[in-house]
Chain A
Amino acid sequence: MPECTMIEAIRMALSRALKEDPDVIIFGEDVGIDGGVFRATDGLTQRYGASRVRDTPLSETAIAGMAVGAAAHGLRPVAEIQFTGFLYPALDQLANHASRLRNRTRGRLTCPLVLRAPYGGGIKAPEHHSESTEAMLAHIPGLRVVIPSSPARAYGLLLAAIRDPDPVVFFEPKRLYRAIREPVEDDGMALPINKAVLLREGADVTLVAWGAMITEANEAADQLAEMGISADLIDLASLKPLDRGTIRSSVEKTGRCVIVHEAPLTAGLGAEIAADLAEHCMTSLLAPIRRVTGFDTVMPYFRLEAHYMPDAARILKAVHNVMEFA
């Protein structure tokens, strides 16, 4: 099986989708001849034609709105927003239309679109290129929100997103685009987009993370293992809908939970997970739930970026804190 990076896996999934379904089209800024600023669509316009892999003018509102119209009228648009920081003009279309069309028409019109965007920090990018806005999207009823954390999951989850009958926001942790290689079979197999993935099993604490924070959490888990503390590590993968069952059963086993996300603390998705555990697993909890997150500030310009990003050291501190509690 060939080893590939996440960006290659994404390209492979896009290519597979274009090949297997003539209704799939891709559009966005610079996705054509340039192959996308991260090269996710490299070579696709040459291979599938400029009518199926289209450069748009600089128009996020139109990109999202056209995806809605095209999806409702039978295409499977996979639209790209160049960075999550430029997604805001598309929110009107996502919140007011993509997410509601099925409901408004009692199922007559639907919106099977995918909106992809490079997401998160960690690459010293300029201002507005490093945001983590998943909670804002996950708060919109009717949208799915998916974030892969490895090449293989990127491949399988993206195929699932494209085949899903409802609108999916697919955020790609750009810090991981080229950071990890793993074998990925181009077999057209989708992964479920309503399931979290248990990446490692332990007994003492549950770590919940997604996207690039999986790498940090995994490193923390390695270090904990050396100290004799074993962790369940859950990759949420699908943030909306949330696989509450997997998280609950892990915490029922370990009794402790540390949630990690790059987005700011307040009203982040960690809050929803913590509330769910408080509601459903109170009797299993041995210690307070801890969140290790970005701070309640904007991503600082990159000279201070590393201080904003949660890392293994901060995760370890939180785990020690809950282990000391009980």
Chain B
Amino acid sequence: MPIQADHELSGVTVFLDPAGLPVLDLPRFARHRETLVALYSAMVRTRTFDAKAISLQRTGRLGTYASSLGQEAVAVGIASAMSDEDVLLPSFREHGAQLWRGVSLEEMFLFWGGDERGNDFAVARQDFPVCIPVASQFPHAAGVALAMVQKGEPGVAVAVGGDGATSKGDFYEALNMVGIWTLPAVFVIANNQWAISVPRVDQTRARALADKAVAAGIPGEQVDGNDVIAVREAIERALVRARSGKGGTLIECLTYRLGDHTTADDASRYRADEEVSSHWSEEPLVRLRAYLVAHHGWAKKDEEALLHGCRDQIEKAAEAYLATPPQPVRSMFEYLYADPTQDQAAQAGELGDA
């Protein structure tokens, strides 16, 4: 199945084609080598994290894990456009965005390893944790945006969800609120063409997910979600717009889920290998690397140093995670309320000193 883009409808923003050839003049930020290298490095780091997480899961040392293989540009593009005062409300596949925002590799491992401390970010303290109930993060983002307006803060709330998420009421209802109250929120759809086994065409007959913005009276647009430059450029525009008081934007990033839905899934049950292999030619790392090689002297040794650095960092984080003892059992009572209830205290007592 080809990526569902309807060019006639709105036009898909793309700067670098799959081969890394520029098809438009690059935006200003993309003219600097350091910026491009930073974007590329973040994507490589994300992919390396992904591979390590999967191998830890396969060996029983991590829980069910949702890979972001092939979608690194969406996550990195979003976060690289954001400022510190903005708030990220991710789904469960935006590892690259969380890492860019400053969530540590160790925190990420802890979260996926079944430990709540992975959500107690040392930085990005206002960012929301991973959201598993699909689409329920969008209303939160509208609420965060409302709070920013009321408090006179300059930030923007940025929520990310999948193509499947656009079928839920939460998504429509939140989008409508963003429209009606002109809230500084950016809703990003990482359209990876699948919601577990349900393909994009069976999710909605709308020609583009971005068109759902029409119903809310806000702008919607499609970008090539495998082109990190295109993602970042679109998010930046949306952020500027939101910051200047003009309200929200819906951005659909066209990408592809190259891996299984999660480590608990077997995608070969419902999608053809040929479809997956055809999308490997469009994946986001190859094109930016090709561009860096052609225009910024990115050499083999640069690539090797980057890979080596990422692996090293991630191995260290994984070791630290594996060496972290579980929380005391009583911790399950300590954070539910500001003050644990008497009932809870009695029940914690039953656990003894565990």
Q: Which residues of A sit under 8 angstroms from B202, Cβ to Cβ? A: 55, 57
A85 to B131, CA, bound (A): 13
CB–CB A57/B115 < 8 A = no
Q: Which residues of A in the span 83-124 have a Cβ within 8 Å of any Cβ on B?
A: 85-86, 88-89, 124
Q: Which residues of B in the span 32-58 have a Cβ within 8 Å of any Cβ on A?
A: none
CB–CB A33/B115 < 8 A = no
A264 to B265, CA, bound (A): 30
A254 to B354, CA, bound (A): 34
CB–CB A59/B168 < 8 A = yes
CB distance from B327 to the nearest CB of A (A): 7
Q: Which residues of A sit under 8 angstroms from B198, Cβ to Cβ? A: 29-30, 55-58
A36 to B282, CA, bound (A): 30
CB distance from B4 to the nearest CB of A (A): 14
- Which one, B22-30, B216-224, B231-239, B330-338, is touching chain A? B330-338
Is the CB of B343 closer than 8 A to any CB of chain A?
yes
A89 to B269, CA, bound (A): 28
Q: Which residues of B sit under 8 angstroms from A127, Cβ to Cβ? A: 132
CB–CB A301/B167 < 8 A = no
Contact A58 to B165, CB < 8 A, known contacts A301-B114, A301-B115, A304-B327: yes
Q: Which residues of A in the span 1-44 have a Cβ within 8 Å of any Cβ on B?
A: 29-30, 32-35, 37
Contact A30 to B167, CB < 8 A, known contacts A296-B347, A304-B329, A307-B354: no
CB distance from A60 to the nearest CB of B (A): 7
CB–CB B165/A55 < 8 A = no
A60 to B168, CA, bound (A): 8
CB–CB A58/B197 < 8 A = no
CB–CB A300/B269 < 8 A = no
Q: Which residues of B in the span 158-175 have a Cβ within 8 Å of any Cβ on A?
A: 164-165, 167-170
Is the CB of A171 closer than 8 A to any CB of chain B?
no
Smallest CB gap from B170: residue in A: A89
Smallest CB gap from B64: residue in A: A126
CB–CB A57/B133 < 8 A = no
Q: Which residues of B sit under 8 angstroms from A55, Cβ to Cβ? A: 197-198, 202
Q: Which residues of B in the span 58-114 have a Cβ within 8 Å of any Cβ on A?
A: 63-64, 111, 113-114
Is the CB of B264 closer than 8 A to any CB of chain A?
yes
Contact A58 to B270, CB < 8 A, known contacts A37-B196, A297-B332: no
Contact A295 to B347, CB < 8 A, known contacts A58-B134, A301-B115, A303-B113: yes
Smallest CB gap from A308: residue in B: B332
Is the CB of B204 closer than 8 A to any CB of chain A?
yes
Residue in B63, B168, B197, B204 whose CB lies within 8 Å of A89: B168
Is the CB of A275 closer than 8 A to any CB of chain B?
no
Smallest CB gap from B66: residue in A: A126
Of listed A29, A56, A57, A307, residue having the most chain B CB within 10 A = A57
Is the CB of B10 closer than 8 A to any CB of chain A?
no
Q: Which residues of A sit under 8 angstroms from B326, Cβ to Cβ? A: 303-304
Is the CB of A298 closer than 8 A to any CB of chain B?
yes
Q: How many residues of B contact A (CB 8 A)?
A: 42
Contact A296 to B332, CB < 8 A, known contacts A35-B269, A55-B198: no
A29 to B329, CA, bound (A): 35
Residue in A56, A61, A125, A302 whose CB lies within 8 Å of B169: A61
CB–CB B133/A30 < 8 A = no
CB–CB B116/A301 < 8 A = yes
Q: Which residues of A in the span 51-67 have a Cβ within 8 Å of any Cβ on B?
A: 55-61
Interface string of B221-253 (1 = CB under 8 A from A): 000000000000000000000000000000000
CB–CB B167/A58 < 8 A = yes
A55 to B152, CA, bound (A): 45
Contact A303 to B115, CB < 8 A, known contacts A29-B196, A58-B135, A295-B333: yes
CB–CB B115/A128 < 8 A = no
CB–CB A58/B114 < 8 A = no
A305 to B115, CA, bound (A): 10
Q: Which residues of B sit under 8 angstroms from A249, Cβ to Cβ? A: none
Is the CB of B351 closer than 8 A to any CB of chain A?
yes
Is the CB of B341 closer than 8 A to any CB of chain A?
yes
Of listed A32, A60, A126, A128, residue having the most chain B CB within 10 A = A126
CB–CB B196/A30 < 8 A = yes
Is the CB of A265 closer than 8 A to any CB of chain B?
yes
CB–CB B196/A297 < 8 A = no
Q: Which residues of A sit under 8 angstroms from B306, Cβ to Cβ? A: none
Residue in B111, B114, B203 whose CB lies within 8 Å of A305: B114
Contact A265 to B347, CB < 8 A, known contacts A29-B198, A297-B332: yes
CB–CB A300/B347 < 8 A = no
CB distance from A297 to the nearest CB of B (A): 5
A29 to B116, CA, bound (A): 28
Q: Which residues of A sit under 8 angstroms from B351, Cβ to Cβ? A: 307
CB distance from A38 to the nearest CB of B (A): 10
Q: Which residues of A sit under 8 angstroms from B270, Cβ to Cβ? A: 33-34
Smallest CB gap from A82: residue in B: B196
CB distance from B115 to the nearest CB of A (A): 5
A323 to B250, CA, bound (A): 64
Binding site for A on B (CB under 8 A): 63-64, 111, 113-116, 132-135, 164-165, 167-170, 195-198, 202-204, 264-265, 269-270, 326-327, 329, 331-333, 336, 341, 343-344, 347-348, 351, 354
What are 20 A-B interface contacts by the 8 Å CB criterion?
A30-B198, A37-B265, A57-B164, A57-B203, A58-B164, A58-B167, A58-B198, A60-B168, A61-B169, A85-B132, A126-B63, A126-B132, A265-B343, A295-B333, A295-B348, A300-B116, A301-B111, A304-B114, A304-B326, A307-B332
Besides A30-B197, A128-B132, 19 more A-B contacts (Cβ < 8 Å) are A33-B197, A33-B269, A34-B197, A35-B269, A37-B196, A56-B198, A57-B164, A86-B133, A124-B63, A125-B63, A126-B132, A266-B343, A297-B344, A304-B114, A304-B327, A304-B329, A304-B332, A307-B329, A307-B351
Binding site for B on A (CB under 8 A): 29-30, 32-35, 37, 55-61, 85-86, 88-89, 124-129, 265-266, 295-298, 300-305, 307-308
State the 6 A-B residue pairs at the shortest beta-carbon distance, nearest first. A34-B197, A302-B114, A57-B167, A58-B164, A303-B114, A301-B114
